[in-house]
Amino acid sequence: MACASGVCTSSSSTFKPEQVIVRATRTATTASSSLAPSPRFPRNDSVSCPNRCKLVARSSCRSFHLRPTQSIGREVPANLLRPDVVQKELEKDPVALWRRYIDWLYQHKELGLYLDVSRIGFTDEFVEQMEPKLQAAFRAMEELERGAIANPDEGRMVGHYWLRNSRLAPTSFLLSQIDNTLEAICKFANDVIGGKIKPPSSPAGRFTQVLSVGIGGSALGPQFVAEALAPDNPPLKIRFIDNTDPAGIDHQIAQLGSELASTLIIVISKSGGTPETRNGLLEVQKAFRDAGLDFSKQGVAITQENSLLDNTARIEGWLARFSMFDWVGGRTSEMSAVGLLPAALQGIDIKEMLAGASLMDEATRASVVKNNPAALLALCWYWASDGVGSKDMVVLPYKDSLLLFSRYLQQLVMESLGKEFDLNGNRVNQGLTVYGNKGSTDQHAYIQQLREGVHNFFVTFIEVLRDRPPGHDWELEPGVTCGDYLFGMLQGTRSALYANNRESITVTVQEVNPRSVGALIALYERAVGIYASLVNINAYHQPGVEAGKKAAAEVLALQKRVLAVLNEASCKEPVEPLTVEEIADLCHAPADIEMIFKIVAHVAANDRALIAEGNCGSPKSIKVFLGECNIEELYT
């Protein structure tokens, strides 16, 4: 199926992973400086790190004592050195490094993507001993794609891979759901862009803006893709409400101004009950009422069928509704309606995104580690962080349009891998911390610490070979373009870090386009799944997030009790201002007194309560009341 307007014009092609011929890598032979097993990270069989000491001097493998480290200034006294840190020296011989680079370089010709893991110091012995774990991970991925219950806690399949190749779906019903949803997205986007679907009261006579309301996976993916791929003058410009911050919501609505009348509102919530998204929806609906506009004529819902949001949109007659599937998690939903509809409305070729992801999915099904880029990433993560998250992953894309990639990966990696228990019920406190900036801004931000400070990280460079569209480049000085400076900064930073034993991975793409962005998303989705298998955790649930939501609901319930107590005191003659201790007693919640104080301070700061005495800098001194009596509240 082909669609007009260029948003979904291509069709996925099949791809057979090229069998890259590689030679065995050379084992590094010299000693060096990195983290050794620490008491903070007790090992067990499921997270063992075979032959981690192969790159460490033999004496340091027997004990955790160091020889004094040399500094330009002076020697560090031996008694100040941490006993749990050993020195690990990476291979520095240029000829050996070049051979290692050639041996381990992965290339996907059709995607124009390269993966260089040569600056991660794993050994041949480590790879050999990880092979059984990797093969088990490959089998787990096969079962997942066949429709196995990959999220046992919630009894759900995990099927985001089917979104870019519906023929993989385990049933014909799911296949038709995927294809029908994609067709509906393409048709709707084309009708909006072409002016067939219009806002009812806009002077422009067509939709000019998109306001996307969602949080977490319903925002981070669409934001990343918009920043990376939206044309300079898209058919519809996009804005996001991705939080329940009133000032942030007001800012987005104010920026729309009179264009609110020509703004398409997309509300994204899988369950339909996400509080932040619900709040954003209510705020936008109020703005529509204040402007005398009919929200239902401009509202679109992306949610599960028969959810609260779906039923609301159906009853109120919203402009359109699109399905989210039970078997697609928020952090892997970019290739669903969640990401595809906003992208298509901006004129981004969503079929090319799907094609890039499908090609990468095919490549990451390879059972030979060197031919599988996701397995190579997972292997490097395991080596660099000892399989227990002992080091952070710093993501540095050297391209402005990829700035939000690190934010996108934060959720994908940290929500998937940050788990307290493994699949056997053992407490493991797993995870990988992800943060990043962009090159070469990083050169003027935190490269100083990465080069010379605490060694608690490894780096992932994202390199883009094409600087500008063909025919648009020019030389700032003889033989040097602006893009050459960016290239030099990336390569120089990589070399400087490695010279000081800081390991790094480099992912290279020819250019930033829908196909390469789709491939990057698919690459990291699969790498996360493989790594989760290596460390024996469930990558597809998020009990910690649910715990935070439950605690937030308890705070709001307590706030209602506090306001009821204050209202009752404010309705007395004379008014009786209350201390925090008195409020806690009347709420029958003395154990929650600190939270009650914070509630009082917040409502007072927002003119919903008055502090009669004292100040918030001295919590025991304050007395508070509402300032007015709400008689109705007394009898509800």
* Domain with 248 in it: 156-348
Pair 564, 464 in one domain = no
How many Å apart are CA 304 and CA 276, to the nearest integer? 17
Contact 228, 512 (CB under 8 A): yes
pLDDT for residue 152: 80
In terms of C-beta density within 10 A (0-12 exposed, 13-18 middle, 19 or more buried), how is residue 308 classed? middle
Q: How many CB atoms lie within 10 A of CB 394?
A: 24
- Is the pLDDT assigned to residue 42 strictly greater than 50? no
- Is the pLDDT assigned to residue 634 strictly greater than 80? no
How many Å apart are CA 441 and CA 162, to the nearest integer? 37
pLDDT for residue 121: 97
Q: Tell me the catalytic residues.
A: 415, 444, 549
Contact 338, 97 (CB under 8 A): no
Phi, psi of 366 (to 5 degrees): -60, 140
Phi, psi of 571 (to 5 degrees): -90, 0
- Is 44 a member of any domain? no
Encoding tokens for residue 409? 């990966």
Pair 119, 234 in one domain = no
Q: Report in angstroms the alpha-carbon separations of 63 from 28, 122, 276, 449, 475.
A: 21, 21, 52, 28, 56
Encoding tokens for residue 127? 């790879």
Average pLDDT over residues 72-97: 61
Average pLDDT over residues 130-134: 98
How many Å apart are CA 352 and CA 324, to the nearest integer? 21
**What residues have CB less than 8 Å from 385, skipping those under 6 apart?**
391, 393, 432, 458
- Is 292 a member of any domain? yes
Encoding tokens for residue 425? 């019920």
pLDDT for residue 150: 87
pLDDT for residue 627: 83
Which has more pLDDT, 508 or 610? Answer: 508
Pair 196, 308 in one domain = yes
How many Å apart are CA 347 and CA 468, to the nearest integer? 20
Phi, psi of 417 (to 5 degrees): -100, -15
Pair 319, 447 in one domain = no
Full-model pTM? 0.87
Pair 376, 312 in one domain = no
* Cα torsion through 219, 224, 226, 229, rounded to 10: -160
Pair 126, 273 in one domain = no
How many Å apart are CA 306 and CA 602, to the nearest integer? 36
- Is 81 a member of any domain? no
Which has more pLDDT, 374 or 201? Answer: 374
- Is 568 a member of any domain? yes
- Is the pLDDT assigned to residue 440 strictly greater than 80? yes
- Is 525 a member of any domain? yes
pLDDT for residue 23: 32
Contact 216, 407 (CB under 8 A): no
pLDDT for residue 6: 56
**What residues have CB less than 8 Å from 59, skipping those under 6 apart?**
none
Q: Which of 504, 524, 541 is the last residue of a domain?
A: 541
Q: Which of 327, 348, 369 is the last residue of a domain?
A: 348
Q: Helical H runs in 369-481? A: 373-384, 405-409, 416-417, 447-452
- Is 70 a member of any domain? no
In terms of C-beta density within 10 A (0-12 exposed, 13-18 middle, 19 or more buried), how is residue 317 classed? exposed
How many Å apart are CA 516 and CA 372, to the nearest integer? 17
| Res. 151 pLDDT band, cuts 50 70 90 | confident
- Is the pLDDT assigned to residue 364 strictly greater than 90? yes
512-541 pLDDT, tens digit per residue, is 999 999 999 999 999 999 999 999 999 999
234-285 pLDDT, tens digit per residue, is 999 999 999 999 999 999 999 999 999 999 999 999 988 899 999 999 999 9
Q: Report in angstroms the alpha-carbon separations of 363 from 109, 313, 326, 440, 530.
A: 11, 40, 26, 31, 14
Which has more pLDDT, 536 or 67? Answer: 536
| Res. 443 pLDDT band, cuts 50 70 90 | confident
CATH no. for residue 556? 1.10.10.10
Pair 181, 111 in one domain = no
- Is the pLDDT assigned to residue 22 strictly greater than 90? no
Pair 310, 273 in one domain = yes
| Res. 201 pLDDT band, cuts 50 70 90 | confident
Average pLDDT over residues 360-378: 98
Pair 300, 418 in one domain = no
pLDDT for residue 7: 62
Q: Of 50-59, 391-400, 439-448, where does mean pLDDT reach its minimum?
A: 50-59
pLDDT for residue 636: 60
Pair 589, 612 in one domain = yes
Task: Please count the residues of the chain.
Answer: 636
CATH no. for residue 237? 3.40.50.10490
Q: How far is CA 330 from the centre of its chain?
A: 10
- Is the pLDDT assigned to residue 16 strictly greater than 70? no
Average pLDDT over residues 50-65: 39
Q: For the chain, how many structural domains are there in total?
A: 3
- Is 214 a member of any domain? yes
Pair 328, 465 in one domain = no
pLDDT for residue 202: 84
Mean pLDDT of the chain: 88
Q: Which of 497, 514, 541 is the last residue of a domain?
A: 541
Pair 442, 549 in one domain = no
Contact 499, 388 (CB under 8 A): no
- Is 32 a member of any domain? no
- List beta partners, residue 299: 265
Give the strand pairing for 209-213 and 263-268: parallel
Which has more pLDDT, 64 or 367? Answer: 367
How many Å apart are CA 169 and CA 165, to the nearest integer? 8
| Res. 203 pLDDT band, cuts 50 70 90 | confident
DSSP state of 415: I
Maximum Cα–Cα distance for the chain, whole Å? Answer: 89
Helices and strands, number each (H, E), in the chain: 20, 18
How many Å apart are CA 182 and CA 322, to the nearest integer? 10
**What residues have CB less than 8 Å from 488, skipping those under 6 apart?**
none
pLDDT for residue 549: 87
pLDDT for residue 204: 82
